[in-house]
Chains A and B, each alone.
Chain A
Amino acid sequence: MSTKKHTGQIATIDGNEAAAYVAHKINEVCAIYPITPSSPMGELADEWSTRGRKNIWGAKPLVIEMQSEGGASGAVHGSLQRGALTTTFTASQGLMLMLPNMFKIAGELTSTVFHVAARQVSTHALTIFAEHSDVMTARTTGFGLMPSGSIQEVMDNALIAQAASLEARVPFVHFFDGFRSSHEIQKIEVIPDEVMAAMIDDDLVKAHRERAMDPDNPVLRGTAQNPDHYFQARETVNPYYLATPGIVQKYMDKFAELTGRQYHLFDYVGHPEAERVITLMGSGSEAVHETVEYLADKGEKVGLLKVRLYRPFSAEHFNEALPKTVKSIAALDRTKEPGAAGEPLYQDTVTAVAESVMAGNGWSGAMPNVIGGRYGLSSKEFTPAMIKGVFDEMKKEQPKNHFTVGIHDDVTETNLDWDEEFSTESEKVHRGLFYGLGSDGTVSANKNSIKIIGEETDNYVQGYFVYDSKKAGAQTVSHLRFSPEPVRSTYLIKQANFVGCHQWTFLDQYDILKSAQPGATFLVNSQFGPDEVWDELPKKVQEQIIEKNLDFYVIDAYKIAKDIGLGTRINTIMQTCFFALSDILPQDEAIQKIKDFIKKTYGKKGEKIVEMNFNAVDQAIENMHKVEVPAEVTSDRGMPATVAEEAPDFVKNVEAKIMANKGDEIPVSAFPAGGTFPTGTAKWEKRNIALEIPVLDPDVCIQCNKCSIVCPHATIRPKVFPESALENAPETFKAMKVRGRGFPDDYMYALQVAPEDCTGCGLCVEVCPAKNKEQTGRKAINMEPQPPIREQEAENWEFFLTLPEYDRRELKTQTVKESQYLEPLFEFSGACAGCGETPYVKLASQMFGDRMIVANATGCSSIFGGNLPTTPWTKNKKGRGPTWSNSLFEDNAEFGFGFRIAIDKQREFATELVEKLKNDIGTELADAILNADQSDEAGIADQRERVAELKEKLDSMEETVDVRNLRETADTLVKKSVWIMGGDGWAYDIGYGGLDHVLASGRDVNVLVLDTEVYSNTGGQMSKATPRGAVTKFAAAGKPSAKKDLGKMAMSYENVYVARIAIGAKDAQTVKALLEAESYDGPSLIIAYSPCIEHGYDLAKGSEQQELAVDSGYWPLYRFDPRLKEQGKNLLQLDSKAPKIPLKDYAYRETRYKILKKVDPERAEMLMEQAQEDVNKQWESYERMAADFNGEAK
């Protein structure tokens, strides 16, 4: 055992911070690009540099955001070539985009470490969770691969990898599991600077710098070579790779001397005479470690071989590390390589063992049997029970090979069985489970609790958080462990001794007490007091409390929070209750620590917040009550069905289980192979997240439908229908005579809210222009509490859906009012309440949904559009609706372009066949089909009828190849509307090259850019759409440059329809622009102003804010229509007036701008002046173009 020389400070941090901490200390340049789950590493590095934190050489590292990971890796490559110590952080697709540069960097023997939060690479679906499919894809690049399993290892290996890379000249990917490690919080020892300085050899740094490209000592790299010599030149690197394992071990040993923490290339844990050994890498090895110790203690001859250096793979060290008694090895991979002889580690294990045997360096007995299996894909749970299942399998004479563990594979029967009851959890470990809503602050409180316990007690701590994919009304589950011994339980808590339910409604939705162990403490936040709460509980909860003999406590945290002024933030209250009940610290001390943390967390933002939270702590103690648990169950309330009985089977059997947190139970056979899912499923997920919903006052309503057009979730809808349809209307259903011309006299109007789908954002009420004349504070719609009217309005909503849709052909869809009588085919998404993107998406679905094919860039819109369990894209009663897919982030324009060219080709083929078969089809029908005008709804409907007739004709004709081919392609003769959607991160940055190419192609595609001016989905990082002066991640000091003018760039092609729109400012212009763009037979680009929570204001005021954006000239509205050239008109038409308010009157209503005044007022003033100048220049330029642009660019 080495003598420990340096003691680091204790910190309670997650894996991302651990890696970034070291990377920032020992590098000079970080070139990055945000991608989940690695984004926080870049963000932290940027924040630290912004604050002036120095590396170990006393310099402040330069952190630079690029336009893509491809760009980041290029910048890293260049920076390394210039001799700067350079790093990057990435994951998943990001690593894929870096691969070309990684081959180069490794081929050039360049020292660097890429820190990767390992995540799945998108296949049939995207997932943001842990897998090794990304890092395993990098195996061929020549980078070394170094996995970490715990948060301490993440920090330690980040340093060891860098030290070794400098000497070995082999670059490394240092990886750890996404979320499980990147986001898991543990108490660790921080590596002191002197240890880093001792590990990083200055001579090697000097040598690295001396290899820099330098005109004073010029060299040539990146040559092109030919068959006669490339091969030989490629083999020159061999000695470096051969030496690398030894070098890594050398630095592991040196690190041990400095810190006392000893690692080996392969670390063995377990029985010294183990017969069954599991080998794996990453966080799973922690759970196996825990299980092996437990089983070995009971005398089982089991062991674990942790892989710490996976590439270069040292078979020699691998074999040496295995006990010679081993009879069976299971190599577990957190990745899937379909079609391979086995997953990567399995193949390496077989090779290592077999080569050893072949070389005669063998084993005491026969060659061990090696089996391989997959586990933990997309962070699938990997528990001691499953691990024991693997060990049990290894006992068999013919163990299953190429198995899976953790799922039920009833298709190819790959899975091993496991005993759910098996647990290795120690009684010494305190395990707390907390169920909260994202918005109630449960997670942030628990993060503070972990820090308090980690930093103020001798306990080891672990915090892991499970989030929802919904952005509004989302559930969070916090898993907290505290223990006097190190915590290696890299799996969710199954036996909790504390369960906190922070939302009363969860008791009816989820089996909250399933994981409560007998005798556990149960705390619930409830509006019911200690004397009445028992009778309000569902039956199952009562049964569980009695059966498990739980200590039951209640507090009305919402009331306290509201009284104090904290709104719905009950975090401090619930946190205090937890400390009061858990006995981890004496109560007085705990309260003091909580208050200290409150001061630390909130103090810099003002005393009022601190004061309110202090008050919350005091009130919590006073208002928490123990509930006397009766001996008998008194409730007969069962848990309601997750979805309605009439839901389709797939929704009931698969999606409803996912909704109920039972997704792990679904077998393989339940899923469609290939990732194709039905649309129209969001309507079955009744989330009931709105506290208040809009309620119509028919006497005031003017039927303008403005509420409907701005609704982000399609939950308030108007309909016009014959009075006779009201025959079976529920008593409370509201309908009135339809106003306006064009509708039959006996037609009625209804405006109905979907009460269980509404998010309560209030946008509709804000935009409602109709005020009650007797009481001007009230409008035609007013927000009212949802629970008392939920049932009644749900019935009304169901009735509303049965009312007939008005004939699309008869509607004047170019008007805001009548566009809203079109059925939305995008509804009830998981977007944020008040989302600024979804109104545009919904409007497009109303206008073109029945013929729409959508390519959606990865980002917010692909998540709210396509994240299971249920999805918002839906279909009409005829079964038509948008068909939607997400390819990647970077390729969306090209992906949608692919739709277009396929359709064009298929239609061309169909057209040729119609011509060819004209005589058989009938000339009249054939000509009608070929010459159809499909520029409006009526034209499309007529063509659909013709094509249906054509198909009938074809069925009656003799079957030939042409007939068959025409039948299969005939539907392409009906117009298909190709839409390419995505955010500004895609359109302005990562996907711009492709977008530019697609726009230049002249093909008929409609590009909708949902411009939130930041990377919203990954947490608000700067994009080139970000305006000057706004504070975002990577622009903490306010973006110093102006927003890129994407529209103007597109206009330069002259054959692209371009519109800049803001639905809240001028809805009529938005409607017009969408119609014009879609009707234009060429590329169209629509740039849509999209309010986002990142802008930092109440999104209910989104429309008002859009008006200000337009009035200030910041967001000029225009349409640029190449068709006008023929008419001799200006192509550019400005739809808004010259700026009439200063930019600051718009900007300083938003926190993203205002925050800079709180951080650096002088810079804020300077940037605001420059931003005003940007606005002035922009307007002058557009005005000039609108005046002069007469078909010719000036």
Chain B
Amino acid sequence: MDLTTTYLGMDLKNPIVPSASPLSEKIDNIKKMEDHGAAAVVLYSLFEEEIEHEEMELHYHTTRGSDIYPEALSYYPEHEEYLTGPDLYLEHIRKAKEAVDIPIIGSLNGITKGGWLKYAKEMEEAGADALELNIYFLATDPEKNAREIEDNYIEILEEVKRNIEIPVAVKLSPFFSSIAEMAHRLDMGGADGLVLFNRFYQPDIDLDRLEVVPNVLLSTPMDMRLPLRWIGILHDQVKSDLAATSGIHNAEDALKMIMAGANVTQMASALLKYGISRIKSVLVDMEHWMEINEYESIRQMHGSMSHKAVGNPGDFERANYIKMLQSYTMEGIV
């Protein structure tokens, strides 16, 4: 069975790629991912804010209280160097590259055109095979118009592309008025791949403490519908490769995504929930399904059920939505 695919110009042995998650913070886990069949690994994200915050925090707390009180003019030993900024992350890339043979994709998360973009270059130098650019911008300012925000995405991408040779994928959110246009602009801007979609941090409220609390929910299979549709729609409209993420928990989910047009399918929640060995069982199930259904290769099915490929393109569109609603209502009445 030929499970190979290509993604960001890389030949991959199969389409299962663990997406950015805390699992990849440990080299042992990355090894396990490879052992269980992962075709590549997207490392956990290096956050622009985290870098700045950590630097500021380190500086603040190691100098706080200094030169105030004569008996204690400092509170910490002075070290010759600190692994601040992306140092630890870059070191992690190097170690991951030494530990495994599969491609390592760095993940950079930020929103400004600031100095953090140079970390892309440093990731490349550290050995990353590709870069996933996660532009996570929550537009809360009513004065800021949509075009301005969209332009910012493009400019960040172009800036990164100008500086590095390795392929770049952009992980984007589904919250654009025109996702297709945005995808097209990113495509034109040089994105080698688009990763659909980013899962925003969505806060919760703790009723006992009356506090807004961080609450990261793992994805469920239901979450795959959104990327499934847009991969289907975009498959034939952009040159960029497409990666599906969110809600891919089993082989069937992965197969659907590939048929819609995904080059690879990324998994995180399922691995966190069921363990890294889930990769292997998905691959086994995938092969099994392909055998039963007489598919020879992943390439054969890639995009086979995309927007254009399906007999009725409206299935991905609004008309189908009305149909679905109607069927639901009728079911309800019955």
A interface residues with partner B (beta carbon < 8 Å): 36-37, 39-40, 43, 46-47, 50-51, 128, 179, 183, 438-439, 441-444, 447, 465, 467-471, 474, 476, 602, 604-609, 611, 771, 776, 832, 863, 1016-1020, 1031-1034, 1036, 1093-1094, 1096-1097, 1151-1152, 1154-1155, 1157-1159, 1161
CB distance from A1016 to the nearest CB of B (A): 7
Q: How far, in whole Å, are A467 and B85 apart by their CA atoms in the complex?
A: 34
Q: Are B70 and A439 in contact (CB under 8 A)?
A: no
Known contacts A40-B73, A128-B71, A1020-B76; A1096/B62 CB under 8 A: yes
Known contacts A43-B77, A1031-B77, A1155-B58; A606/B71 CB under 8 A: no
Q: Are B115 and A471 in contact (CB under 8 A)?
A: no
Query: In chain B between 63 and 120, which residues have their CB closer than 8 angstroms to a CB of chain A?
Result: 63-85, 88, 91, 115
B residues in contact with A1018, CB < 8 Å: 71-72
Whether, in the assembled complex, B288 has its beta carbon less than 8 Å from a beta carbon of chain A, the answer is no
A residues in contact with B69, CB < 8 Å: 438, 467-471, 474
Known contacts A51-B80, A1020-B76, A1033-B77; A179/B70 CB under 8 A: yes
Q: Which of A179, A441, A605, A1161 contacts B58 (CB 8 A)?
A: A605
Whether, in the assembled complex, B56 has its beta carbon less than 8 Å from a beta carbon of chain A, the answer is yes
Q: How far, in whole Å, are A183 and B52 apart by their CA atoms in the complex?
A: 34
Q: Are A608 and B78 in contact (CB under 8 A)?
A: no
B residues in contact with A1093, CB < 8 Å: 64-65, 75
**Given A43-B77, A471-B68, 20 other A-B residues pairs in contact with their CB atoms under 8 A:** A37-B71, A47-B77, A47-B78, A442-B67, A467-B69, A469-B69, A604-B80, A605-B82, A605-B84, A607-B55, A608-B55, A771-B210, A1017-B72, A1020-B75, A1033-B77, A1093-B64, A1158-B58, A1158-B83, A1158-B88, A1161-B83
Whether, in the assembled complex, B61 has its beta carbon less than 8 Å from a beta carbon of chain A, the answer is yes
Whether, in the assembled complex, B57 has its beta carbon less than 8 Å from a beta carbon of chain A, the answer is yes
What are 10 A-B pairs with beta-carbon distances under 8 A? Answer: A183-B70, A439-B68, A444-B63, A606-B55, A608-B51, A609-B55, A1093-B75, A1096-B62, A1158-B54, A1158-B84
CB distance from B329 to the nearest CB of A (A): 39
Q: Are A465 and B67 in contact (CB under 8 A)?
A: yes
B residues in contact with A128, CB < 8 Å: 70-71
Q: How far, in whole Å, are A447 and B61 apart by their CA atoms in the complex?
A: 19
A residues in contact with B91, CB < 8 Å: 1161
CB distance from B295 to the nearest CB of A (A): 44
Q: Are B79 and A1036 in contact (CB under 8 A)?
A: yes
CB distance from B180 to the nearest CB of A (A): 37
Q: How far, in whole Å, are A609 and B55 apart by their CA atoms in the complex?
A: 7
User: How many B residues touch A, CB cutoff 8 Å?
Assistant: 38
Q: Are B68 and A606 in contact (CB under 8 A)?
A: no
Whether, in the assembled complex, B59 has its beta carbon less than 8 Å from a beta carbon of chain A, the answer is yes
Q: How far, in whole Å, are A1154 and B91 apart by their CA atoms in the complex?
A: 17
A residues in contact with B71, CB < 8 Å: 36-37, 39, 128, 863, 1017-1019
Most buried by A among B58, B83, B85, B211: B58
Residue of B nearest to A471 (CB): B69
Most buried by B among A46, A605, A1151: A605
Q: How far, in whole Å, are A1151 and B56 apart by their CA atoms in the complex?
A: 12
A residues in contact with B84, CB < 8 Å: 604-606, 1158
Q: How far, in whole Å, are A648 and B91 apart by their CA atoms in the complex?
A: 65
Q: Are B76 and A1031 in contact (CB under 8 A)?
A: yes
Q: Are A1151 and B77 in contact (CB under 8 A)?
A: no
Residue of A nearest to B66 (CB): A444
B residues in contact with A46, CB < 8 Å: 77
Q: Which of B55, B61, B115 contacts A1096 (CB 8 A)?
A: B61
Known contacts A471-B69, A609-B56; A1151/B82 CB under 8 A: no
Q: Are B72 and A1016 in contact (CB under 8 A)?
A: yes
Q: Are A608 and B56 in contact (CB under 8 A)?
A: yes
Residue of B nearest to A46 (CB): B77
Q: Are B67 and A1020 in contact (CB under 8 A)?
A: no
Q: Are B61 and A1159 in contact (CB under 8 A)?
A: no
Q: How far, in whole Å, are A208 and B73 apart by their CA atoms in the complex?
A: 37
Known contacts A605-B82, A1096-B61; A444/B67 CB under 8 A: yes
CB distance from B251 to the nearest CB of A (A): 34
What are the 4 closest A-B residue pairs judged by CB atoms, nearest first? A438-B68, A606-B55, A1019-B72, A443-B67
CB distance from B167 to the nearest CB of A (A): 27
Q: Are A1019 and B59 in contact (CB under 8 A)?
A: no
B residues in contact with A179, CB < 8 Å: 70
Q: Which of B63, B65, B88 contacts A1157 (CB 8 A)?
A: B88
Residue of B nearest to A465 (CB): B67
Most buried by B among A438, A771, A1019, A1155: A1019
Known contacts A1019-B75, A1093-B64; A1159/B82 CB under 8 A: yes
Residue of A nearest to B68 (CB): A438
CB distance from B51 to the nearest CB of A (A): 8
Residue of A nearest to B63 (CB): A444
Residue of A nearest to B85 (CB): A606
CB distance from A134 to the nearest CB of B (A): 16
A residues in contact with B83, CB < 8 Å: 1157-1159, 1161
Known contacts A1020-B75, A1031-B76, A1158-B84; A608/B68 CB under 8 A: no
Q: How far, in whole Å, are A1097 and B62 apart by their CA atoms in the complex?
A: 10
Q: How far, in whole Å, are A1185 and B97 apart by their CA atoms in the complex?
A: 49
Q: Are A36 and B52 in contact (CB under 8 A)?
A: no
B residues in contact with A469, CB < 8 Å: 69-70
A residues in contact with B79, CB < 8 Å: 604, 1036, 1155, 1159
Q: Which of A441, A470, A611, A1019 contacts B115 (CB 8 A)?
A: A611
Q: Which of B51, B52, B76, B211 contacts A1033 (CB 8 A)?
A: B76
Known contacts A606-B85, A609-B56, A776-B210; A37/B70 CB under 8 A: yes
CB distance from B32 to the nearest CB of A (A): 17
Q: Are B67 and A441 in contact (CB under 8 A)?
A: yes
CB distance from A332 to the nearest CB of B (A): 25
Q: Are B81 and A604 in contact (CB under 8 A)?
A: yes
CB distance from A466 to the nearest CB of B (A): 8
Q: Are A1161 and B62 in contact (CB under 8 A)?
A: no
Known contacts A438-B68, A444-B67, A1151-B62; A1036/B77 CB under 8 A: yes
B residues in contact with A36, CB < 8 Å: 70-71
Q: Are A604 and B77 in contact (CB under 8 A)?
A: no
CB distance from B115 to the nearest CB of A (A): 6
Known contacts A605-B84, A611-B115, A1151-B62; A1020/B70 CB under 8 A: no
B residues in contact with A1034, CB < 8 Å: 77
Most buried by A among B54, B64, B88: B64
B residues in contact with A438, CB < 8 Å: 65, 67-69
Residue of A nearest to B91 (CB): A1161
Q: Are A1155 and B76 in contact (CB under 8 A)?
A: yes
CB distance from A833 to the nearest CB of B (A): 10
B residues in contact with A47, CB < 8 Å: 77-78
Q: How far, in whole Å, are A50 and B79 apart by their CA atoms in the complex?
A: 9
Q: Are B67 and A1151 in contact (CB under 8 A)?
A: no
Q: How far, in whole Å, are A832 and B65 apart by their CA atoms in the complex?
A: 9
B residues in contact with A776, CB < 8 Å: 210-211
CB distance from A154 to the nearest CB of B (A): 18
Q: Are B75 and A467 in contact (CB under 8 A)?
A: no
B residues in contact with A447, CB < 8 Å: 67
B residues in contact with A442, CB < 8 Å: 67
Residue of B nearest to A446 (CB): B67
Known contacts A36-B70, A179-B70, A609-B55; A1158/B82 CB under 8 A: yes
Residue of B nearest to A1018 (CB): B71
Q: Are A1151 and B57 in contact (CB under 8 A)?
A: yes
Q: How far, in whole Å, are A1161 and B51 apart by their CA atoms in the complex?
A: 16
Q: Are A467 and B68 in contact (CB under 8 A)?
A: yes
A residues in contact with B56, CB < 8 Å: 606, 608-609
A residues in contact with B80, CB < 8 Å: 51, 604
Interface string of B40-55 (1 = CB under 8 A from A): 0000000000011011
Residue of B nearest to A129 (CB): B70
CB distance from B232 to the nearest CB of A (A): 42
B residues in contact with A1155, CB < 8 Å: 58, 62, 76, 79, 82
